[in-house]
Structure 1
Amino acid sequence: MALAALCGGSEAALAGVDVAPFGTMADGRPIHLYTLSTPGLTVRVTDLGGIITAIETPDRAGRTADIVLGFATADQYRARDNQYFFGVPVGRFANRIAGARVTIDGQSYALAANNGPNTLHSGRPYYHERLWAARPFTRGGRSGVTLELVSPDGDQGFPGRLVLRLRYSVGPDHALRIDYRATTSRPTFVNFTNHSYFNLAGEGSGDVGGQSIQIRADRLAERDAAGLPTGRIVPVTGPYDLRAPRRIGDGIAAIKAQGGSGYDDSYVLADRPFARPRLVAEARDPASGRTLTVLTTEPSLQFYTANSAWGTDAGPSGRVYRRHGGFALETQHLPDSPHHPDFPTTLLRPGQTFRSTTLYRFGVEGG
C-alpha cells in the first residue's frame, strides 16, 4: 500500500519531525521539507526526490554549519540538480552500465545512453525529479521520515514494477541512518545509493583538500577511461591506498600527476553484502574538528571528489561551488554489475526483498 503524502503539521508533530512548505511541483502539488533533529545533529530532507538538503553539525567550538552541498530552494533543485545530484537517492541503478543495455533471462533491455554510449545513474526521469510519498515517525529512540516511490514497469528502460521504501532517521548515536527496501514484479537490476557531497568545513567553504580520508579496503575495481570497470579487481596502490588516513588534496595531486582529475573510484569492501553495517570509511577536518564515519551493509564504496569544473551555482551560503568543493562516499554495489557475473549480484527477482543500510555518523575532535 502506498504511503500518504503529508500536508499538515499536526500529524508530523506527533512523529517528532518538523514539516514546512518547500515550493510546488510543475503541476501544483506541494513539496515539503522534513527536519529531523537530535542533539548535535539536524538533517533536512524533502519529498522532492527524497533529497537530503542539509546536514548541520557543530565544530569543536560549538559553531554549527551545514556540511553537505545543496541548494536553498526546490526550484533550484528542479532546475539544476541534474548536473550535480546533490543529496539525491540514485536509482534504479546507481553509477554506470556499459552500452546502455542489460540482459535478463535472455531478454535484452535498452536503457538511456546519457553518458556517451553508457548509462549513468539510470537516466531520466531520475528518481530525484519525482515527488515521493512521505510519512514521519518516531520509533526506538529515532525520529525520521519514510519515503516511498513506485517505479513502473519499463521505467528508465528497466523491467518490473519496483516499490522502493527509503527511510531516513536520526538518533542518540549522532548518525543519519538510511534504510532501503525494494520489491519488484519482474526480474530487474537494482543498485541504490545516496549522492550527498560532504565538506566538513561547511558547504561553500572551498575545496576539501585539507581534509583527510580513510577507506578500509585493500582492493578496488579497475576502471577504464570511461569510468567503467574492466572486470579486474586490483590491490590498492599509490594514492588509491587509503587504508591509512590521507590528506585528500595530497591524493588528488598525485592522481593529477598521473594524468587523472581526482578520485572517482569503486572500493571493494567485501565479496557480498554485510549482514550488519560495518565500519568502512572515516573522514576528518583538522580545522573544524568535525568527523564523519561511514558504516554500511553494501559491498562497495564509490569515493568521488567533485572533479568537474564547477563555478556557476551557489549553495544556501551564497558561495559558489567550485571543483573539489566536496566529496561523496556512495555506498553501493559495483558499477556495471549486470555485465560482470563475478561481482556481487544486483539482480532482484519477484518474491525477493532488497534491503540495505548505511549510517553516516558525525562527531567532533578537540584541538
Structure 2
Amino acid sequence: MTMTDPTRIERRPWGKLPGGETVAHVMLSRPGGISVGVSTLGATITGIWAPGRDGARANVVLGFDDLAGYLAPEYQASYPYFGATIGRFANRIRGAAFDIEGIPYSLRANEGANQLHGGRGFDRAIWADRINGDALHLDLVSPDGDQGYPGTLHVSAIFSLPADDELAVRYEARTDRATHVNLTSHGYFNLAGRDAPGIADHHLQIHADAYTPIDGDALPTGEIATVDGTPFDLRQPQRIGTLIDAAHPQINLGDGYNHNFVLNGAASKLRPAARLYDPASGRVMELATSAPGLQVYSGNALTEPVARRRQALALEPQHFPDAPNIPAFPTTLLRPGELYASETRFRFSVD
C-alpha cells in the first residue's frame, strides 16, 4: 500500500432531474492508483476504476457514465439501486412497520406489504456536497415522518481515498427522536469489468461462521444458522458459480445468494469481512467494515437491457434485515445524543 500521491478531487455539473434539481458528479482519484466517481443523486458510486494484472484499468462496478442512464425508463422500472446509498433502513422490514417503546410506526411499503431499502429512500435524494480536505462529504436531512420514520435525521456520507488502492466510505447520522437507522452502499461488483458477462468464475471469501436464513419474501426467519456444511460456508475462497445453483433450500428461496452473513469479530470495529477475486484479470477486492452483517446478493433478478442476470455481485455491509422486529439481532435503534457511525473500506490489488 502506498500513500505517495495526494487525492485529486474534480467536481462538475452532471445535469438536472425532471423537477429541475441540479445533480453534480465528483471524481476522486490517485494518479498511481484507483479512481472513484460519485453522484450527488443518491450519494451514488458511479464507477471504480482499478488496474488489473496487465496494468489495464477497468470500471469494476455497475452504473452509468451519465445521469441519463439513471433516469432512463428501463432502469427506473427494474431499479436495482446501482451503487446508491441506502437509507433510512437498508434491506427489508416485515410488514413495513415496527414499534419503538410501545409506539407503533407504519412505514411506506414498496415491496408487497414490506418495505425495501427505506421506501422512496436516500437513493432518490439530492445530497448537498462539500469538499473537506481530501474527502467528499455529502449531507442530507431526512425530515420527521419521512417514509414513516420518526425523527429528523441528519446524515453524512463521506468518501475518501486513504491510500492509492483503497476507497473508504463512512456514514454518520444523528436524530432528534428515537428511530431506526441502517445505512449501506449498494455496489454491484464485477472485477473483470462492468461489461463482463458474469461473476460465476469469481472467487468469494466471507469471514462469517453464521448467516440468517430467509423465508419466501427474502425476510429473515429470526434464526442465526451455522454455515457448516452449506453453500454459505465461504470461510475459504469458493468459486461463486459452483455454489449459487446448489441444491439447498435457502439457495432455492433466494434463487442464489440474497442473504445476510453474520460477520466474525466485534461490530463497530473495522475488521476483514470479504475477499473477491477474478482469476482472469487478477483483480482482488478486500472489504473491511465495522458493520455487523454483510448482505450478499448474486444479481439474480438483474434483467436486460439494464444488466444481465448475475452479471455482478452486490456486497452490502449493514445491520441485519428486519432488525427492528427481531430482538435477537443487533439493535438499529438510534437515540438523540447518539452518533450512528459505520465505515467500510474497499482495497484493490492484483494476484
TM-score, normalised with respect to structure 2:
0.93
Classify the secondary structure of the residue corresponding to 1:57.
Answer: strand
Matched, 1:335 2:329: no
| Superposed displacement of residue 198, structure 1 | 0.2
> Is it true that 1:239 corresponds to 2:231 in the alignment?
yes
193, 197, 210: which one pairs with 1:219? 210
Distance 1:212 1:84 in 2: 23
Quick one: which of 275, 292, 302 aligns to 2:295? 302
Give the Å deviation of 1:49. 1.2
Deviates most, 61-70 or 22-31: 22-31
Give the counterpart letter for 2:345 in structure 1: L
8 Å CA contact 2:140–2:154 kept in 1: the answer is yes
One-letter amino acid of the structure 1 residue matched with residue 319 of structure 2: H
Unaligned runs of 5+ in 2: 1-5
Instruction: Name the counterpart of 2:339.
Output: 353
Instruction: Give the alignment partner of residue 135 of structure 1, picking from 95, 120, 130.
Output: 130
Work out the CA distance in 1 between the residues paired with 2:45 and 2:246: 32
Residues 31 and 48 in structure 1, CA contact (< 8 A), matched pair in contact too = yes
Match of residue 122 from structure 1: 118
Question: What is the CA–CA distance in structure 2 between the aligned matches of 1:255 and 1:282, rounded to whole Å?
Answer: 24
Q: Matches of 2:150 and 2:221 in 1, distance apart?
A: 26
Q: Which amino acid aligns with 2:263?
A: L
Amino acid at match of 1:127: F
Q: Is the 8 A contact 2:230 2:248 kept in 1?
A: no
Once the two structures are TM-superposed, the CA of residue 253 in structure 1 deviates from its matched residue by: 2.3
* Preserved CA contact (<8 Å) 1:173 1:361: no
CA contact (8 A) 2:108 2:115 kept: yes
1:259 paired residue number:
252
The answer to whether the 8 A contact 1:89-1:127 is kept is yes
- Structure 1 residues 71 and 50: alpha-carbon distance in aligned structure 2, compared to 1, 3 A threshold: same
Q: Deviations over 1:170-221 (max 9, x none)?
A: 1325111011110001100000011010000000210100010000101001
The answer to whether the aligner puts 1:24 opposite 2:16 as a matched pair is yes
Secondary structure of the equivalent of 2:349? strand
Classify 1:255/1:325 alpha carbon distance in 2 versus 1 (closer, same or farther; 3 Å). Answer: farther
Matches within 5 A, 1:1-367: 16-38=8-30, 39-79=32-72, 80-81=75-76, 83-124=79-120, 126-138=121-133, 143-172=134-163, 174-236=165-227, 237-254=229-246, 259-260=252-253, 261-270=255-264, 273-275=267-269, 277-313=270-306, 321-365=307-351
Separation in structure 2 between the aligned mates of residue 193 and residue 115 of structure 1, nearest angstrom: 19
Partner of 2:3: none
Structure 1 Cα separation of the partners of residues 197 and 273 of structure 2: 26
Contact 1:301 1:330 in 2 (8 A): yes
CA distance in 2, matches of 1:255, 1:184: 45
2:95 partner SS: helix
Q: Amino acid of the residue matched to residue 340 of structure 2?
A: F
Unaligned stretches of 5+ in structure 1?
A: 1-13, 314-320
Q: Which amino acid aligns with 1:250?
A: T
**Does the CA-based 8 Å contact 2:7-2:161 persist in structure 1?**
no
Q: Percent identity over the alignment?
A: 42
* Partner SS state of residue 345, structure 1: coil
Size of the aligned set, in residue pairs, is 339
